[in-house]
Amino acid sequence: MLIGANYSYIVQRESHSMSKQPTQYETTFVVNAAFDDNQIDAVIEKMKDVITKNGGEIRDLAKWGRKRFAYPIKKKNNGFYVVCEFSAPGEVIAKLERHYQLDESIIRYLTIALDKKALQSRIKPSDLLKAATPEAPLPAAAPAAATAEPAAASAPKPDAAVKS
């Protein structure tokens, strides 16, 4: 009887761990910048397929574009950065990183698990990219500039005080 009770406890515990929600991950990888845009898009699509075919769901994808490295990596000075946020079961990470290792067009990669506190206080990579572009004015900077101009116009000129 004691063995049967332990067995049912183990089965219940395994079924409870199987119903766990998928973990949130963020992966950043660098593609060889010598490729043209169509080839880079093909590499990104392969990465997306690896995630979705293994039970993952992509939440956000941001193409940061071509950037210069601080130091040469694999005899390259530039790379095309891609940041992807997704939710997936844990076994997907091993398959994804194996894909990164086998793909010669991917220079570097990093995948991290996001905890709940980080998810609550973070900005999406695509929103961060939009804020960094010069075309998108920051909403907080516009009112400060508008209030600074009237104050400058009402201030007395130092030349007027010297002439009197």
Looking at residues 145-150, what average pLDDT do you find?
A: 49
| Nearest alpha carbon to residue 87 among 162, 25, 164, 159 | 25
Residue 31 has pLDDT above 90, yes or no: yes
Burial of 30 (0-12, 13-18, 19+ CB in 10 A): buried
Band of residue 115 on the pLDDT scale cut at 50, 70, 90: confident
Contacts of 107 (CB under 8 A, 6+ apart): 30, 31, 32, 73, 74, 76, 79
What's the alpha-carbon Rg for the chain, to the nearest Å? 26
Looking at residues 107-126, what average pLDDT do you find?
A: 81
Band of residue 79 on the pLDDT scale cut at 50, 70, 90: very high
Domains, the chain, ranges and CATH?
20-135 (3.30.70.60)
pTM of the full structure: 0.62
Looking at residues 107-116, what average pLDDT do you find?
A: 91
- Residue 137 is predicted with a pLDDT of 54
